[in-house]
Amino acid sequence: MQSQYSILNTQYSIPNTLRMRFLITILAVLFLLPLHAQKQKNTTKYYVFEAVYDSAEGINIYEKLNFVMGGDSVRNTPKGYAAQNCWEDYYKSGKVLHTGYYVDGQLRSYKNFYETGQVERDFHNIDYFRNEMILYWINGKVRSDIIYFQGESESDHEYYENGNPDYAEEFAKKCEYLLYRTSWYENGKMQNDLQLSDKKKKKYYLKEYYENGNMQDEGTMQYYAELDNFMKEGIWKVYDETGKLTSTQEYVRNQMTEEKKIQ
């Protein structure tokens, strides 16, 4: 006969599938809270665009409040309390500058805006470990799209104001090692391309190009973890601007040991 204790265990144990559904529901609620919280309007101070915008960094005056990215400052309400839930800041024109969701005075997700109303940046949660920051040029084109894993860049895609790609890199999950790193000239032609060729030995193959699109040089790069750096290794091929092979070079830890000119 089954004991009373075992019967109680059977009746009240929760299947793993139900536990998982419960966890997913809780996480969904946490991520959706910022969307439903009532916005609180900061009308004690208004901003001018020139005071908040940096040509290199954009509207970055709120980054010190970004908890996930290491910000250690706290926003207080006009009454001196740590800001909670959704807050909005404004330009002197009345246009929205910033809307953010705060927990104990620090940002968890937010958007900044140009005075035209165009979004300047959008920082939000992807999952429990990852966040995404998308920056925009004033013309509405994407300036950069970066995904962070626990505060470290896991993938980064950047663009020129004309929409052409500028730079891209991606790491393996949890930022364990680099998968590729590529950059382009503003005219859209590739500038250099570093690709993982041997995962175990952490060897990469690099191709560099002239602005006209022709190959400049190519060869193997070795990643040294103790130096956190890439160095030329083995045979490298060098070309002139017409694409003609002009020499081969041999390297050991970035030091050229031999060169053969090609007539």
Instruction: Give the domain ranges of the chain.
Output: 177-263
Share of the chain above pLDDT 90, in %: 82
Mean pLDDT of 158-164: 97
Count of helix runs (H) and strand runs (E) in the chain: 3, 16
The answer, yes or no, to whether residue 263 has pLDDT greater than 70, is yes
Helix boundaries (H) for the chain? 4-12, 16-36, 49-52
pLDDT of residue 13: 40
| The one-letter amino acid at 257 | T
Residue 130, SS3 per DSSP: strand
pLDDT of residue 173: 85
DSSP 8-state code for residue 76: B
Q: How confident is the model over 207-222, as pLDDT tens digits? A: 999 999 999 999 999 9
The answer, yes or no, to whether residue 164 has pLDDT greater than 80, is yes
pTM: 0.82
The answer, yes or no, to whether residue 260 has pLDDT greater than 70, is yes
**The two structure tokens encoding residue 59:** 């509207």
Query: Domain 177-263 falls in which CATH fold?
Result: Outer Surface Protein A; domain 3 (3.90.930)
